[in-house]
Copies of this chain bind each other. A is one copy, B any other.
Amino acid sequence: MGRTREIFTAYPGKPETQDGLYSEDETRLANRNSGLLLETLRHDITPTGAHYLLIHFDIPHLDAQRHQLEFGAGFDAPYSLSMDDIRALPAVTMPVTLECAGNGRARVSPRSHSMPWGVEAVGTSEWTGTPLAPLIERARPAEGTVDFSFTGADVGFDKGEKHPFGRSLTPQELAELDVLLVYEMNGQPLLPQHGAPLRIVVPGWYGMASVKWLTRIEALTERYTGFQQVQTYRYRDHADDPGRPVTAIRVKSLMVPPGVPDWGSRLRFIEPGATRVQGRAWSGGGVPIVRVEFGVDGQWQDAELIAPVGQYAWTGWHVDWQASPGEHVLQCRATDAAGHVQPLQPPWDASGFGNNMVHEVGVFVGSA
């Protein structure tokens, strides 16, 4: 426990990592945060509880009866809303695919010491709420507003600095994105771990923008400098690079691993013959998926696409494969309407953000 004082008074910096070996802290984060169970990619909407979870601090214990959303500093007509007020506003239900910006971090070398996501930090839910932009307009942002900050009730330390989780969006981003003020997920009140009683969902962006446990919105005449906006969630070439903000989700796809697994390795066993392989593909900013390819040992074929259930929801795909005996590497690779294609190797980022390399699954085709 000698680490305790150091962590809260003189942050020691991130430990070095070794490829393929994970620290106690990384494994504790993996036990606490949870990934999508890949076989649930069969469902248009991820079953509740199987959606990925990334919680920086602790789940705050909030009372929905007393919860208030405050449109505070920087507005000419500040006001606040109770949950009853918000539920009385025009309601919209929107299926949205959310992905953690750190998804795929474990594949980047050297690996940043953080939550060691493989491929599973993604999910699609039906979010119910009310459009946010008109509510901000109603509070009349002061002349010269260049940023809106969103503050959650979750508080903790990172790199020795105490702060609430907070993020911002510019007036232009707010105008372009269909940001929803959300109180239900999959037809039920938000669960504590998904932001109860109130959060935002920013469709098409990585999950860090979708602030949970939302308490306060402010209008700022200088850019927001909250820790989670400025010190994390930036693409950096190296530790000292000020970086570029992480925003829209990059094109990506995953498959339901076919056959049956080995418990420990998750490698797959398949009987020889006709095998249907299915999965999902998505991109950011509402850009549609136009192509998914399925690869067997580097030989690619086009998959059939299934229309998504919403503009911001993933696209289903499937392909029929004649599985021949032996060992194979299966891959899937998506292309979006803007021409972005998933890379075969992880794009470099010092924090392991935005790794959208192709999904690979190792299989053994044989008779058991």
Size band of the interface chain A makes with B: 35 or more
User: Out of B7, B29, B363, which one reaches A267, CB within 8 Å?
Assistant: B7
Q: Closest CB of chain B to A205's CB: distance in Å? A: 21
- Is A261 in contact with chain B by the CB < 8 A criterion? yes
Interface members, chain A 168-183 (any B CB < 8 Å): none
- Is A92 in contact with chain B by the CB < 8 A criterion? no
Q: Secondary structure of the A side of the interface?
A: mixed
Give complex CA distance A48, B48 in Å.
Answer: 8
Measured between beta carbons, the chain B residues less than 8 angstroms from A40 are 59, 192-193
Look across to chain B and name the residue whose beta carbon is closest to the beta carbon of A34: B34
Measured between beta carbons, the chain B residues less than 8 angstroms from A307 are none
Give complex CA distance A262, B3 in Å.
Answer: 11
Q: Please state if B261 and A5 are interface contacts (CB–CB under 8 Å).
A: no
Give complex CA distance A7, B267 in Å.
Answer: 8
Query: Scoring A residues 188 to 218 as 1 if CB is less than 8 Å from chain B, else 0, what string do you get?
Result: 0001111000000000000000000000000
- Is A86 in contact with chain B by the CB < 8 A criterion? no
Interface members, chain A 8-46 (any B CB < 8 Å): 8-9, 14, 18, 20-32, 34-35, 37, 39-40, 42-43
Q: Please state if A364 and B4 are interface contacts (CB–CB under 8 Å).
A: yes
Look across to chain B and name the residue whose beta carbon is closest to the beta carbon of A58: B39
Q: Please state if B193 and A50 are interface contacts (CB–CB under 8 Å).
A: yes
Measured between beta carbons, the chain B residues less than 8 angstroms from A2 are 327
Q: Please state if B157 and A260 are interface contacts (CB–CB under 8 Å).
A: yes
- Is A156 in contact with chain B by the CB < 8 A criterion? yes
Look across to chain B and name the residue whose beta carbon is closest to the beta carbon of A31: B35
Give complex CA distance A130, B117 in Å.
Answer: 40
- Is A245 in contact with chain B by the CB < 8 A criterion? no
Known contacts A27-B22, A37-B59; is A157 also within 8 Å of B7 by CB?
no
Q: Please state if B364 and A5 are interface contacts (CB–CB under 8 Å).
A: yes
Give complex CA distance A157, B57 in Å.
Answer: 37
Q: Closest CB of chain B to A42's CB: distance in Å? A: 6
Query: Scoring A residues 44 to 55 as 1 if CB is less than 8 Å from chain B, else 0, what string do you get?
Result: 000111110101
- Is A148 in contact with chain B by the CB < 8 A criterion? no
User: Out of B42, B59, B118, which one reaches A28, CB within 8 Å?
Assistant: B118
Give complex CA distance A326, B9 in Å.
Answer: 11
Q: Please state if B30 and A37 are interface contacts (CB–CB under 8 Å).
A: no
Q: Please state if B157 and A262 are interface contacts (CB–CB under 8 Å).
A: yes
